[in-house]
Amino acid sequence: MKKHIKGFTLVEVLVVIAIISILMTILLPNLNTARLKGKDAKRKANLKQIQSALEMFKADSVDKKYPVNSGTVVKTTGGVLSLLTTNYLKQFPADPADPLYHFYYDTPVGANAGNAYTLCGYLEYTADPEKNNVCSAVPAGSCVADCNYGVSNP
């Protein structure tokens, strides 16, 4: 009397593994792109939040000027950041990937000090259509890498 053992043959298992491998090869790059886009969306939102705080600072200041500071501003330092977190930001926005992520905040010097600003950051997704040249004059390495996205006023 023969017993019939139910199960899959080796060929069937190998075919399923091959199909799963092909699907993973197609899907993984897309998942990585989505992750980069998500982190960059958070970075853009952080810069917009800081920009709003700068606008509120200017509106409340006696001389109607932005805080004057030039150079790389690291999240954990004082200076401009301490001015914003006192009244305008409950806490300084954190980067989704690196807690020590830094951006670049620049204001004109001399007679125009505090009349305008440039706030720059780094986007990881290389094909982002919102990358701009606002920060083209920023020294290399001022952001995490070269600053490739910025907001300014005016």
pLDDT in tens, 80-100: 777 888 888 888 887 787 776
| Per-residue tokens: 23 | 């699907």
The pLDDT of residue 18 is: 96
Read off the amino acid at residue 142: S
**63 contacts 87 by C-beta, under 8 angstroms:** no
Q: How do the domains of the chain map onto residue ranges?
A: 40-153
Q: Let me know how many helices (H) and strands (E) the chain has, helices first.
A: 2, 4
d(CA 39, CA 22): 27
Phi-psi label, residue 64: left if phi above 0, alpha if psi -120 to 50, beta otherwise? left
DSSP letter for each residue of 40-75 = HHHHHHHHHHHHHHHHHHHHHSTT--PPP--EEEET
pLDDT in tens, 15-61: 999 999 999 988 888 888 899 999 999 999 988 998 999 999 999 99
d(CA 119, CA 152): 6
Q: How confident is the model at residue 79 (pLDDT cuts 50, 70, 90)?
A: low
pLDDT in tens, 125-141: 888 888 888 888 777 77
Average model confidence (pLDDT) for the chain? 84
